[in-house]
Amino acid sequence: MSGTNGTTEEQGKEEARLADRMLVNVFENVLAGEASRQVIVSTTGIRISASTVTTEARAMQCLGQLSDTSISQISQDHMAVSISQQEAKGGRHQTLERGTSSA
């Protein structure tokens, strides 16, 4: 084994040891109920581990690593869909910026 390969191998082992000690957010028995929206993400690179993940009818789940921009887009899309659905039903919706109801 040459010196270069030995150094690379040792670096790889050290990186693996560090990765094993990294913080991990653990989620178990994750459920997105019917017609719900659920986002479980990290924007800081902290790992996420999820087990027993269930999504019911018309639900949306996002799990994993996302940028702040992606999260903002998901939120904006959700608000637009929610408002459109309420307007289509002739119902009322909340204007979150002002905290008031409008018809």
What average pLDDT does the segment 59-84 reach? 88
pTM above 0.75, yes or no: no
Q: Tell me the β-bridge partners of 28.
A: 51
pLDDT of 83 higher than 80: yes
Q: How many residues does the chain have?
A: 103
Where would I find the beta strands (DSSP E) of the chain? 24-32, 37-42, 47-55, 60-65, 93-95, 100-102
What pLDDT is recorded for position 5? 67
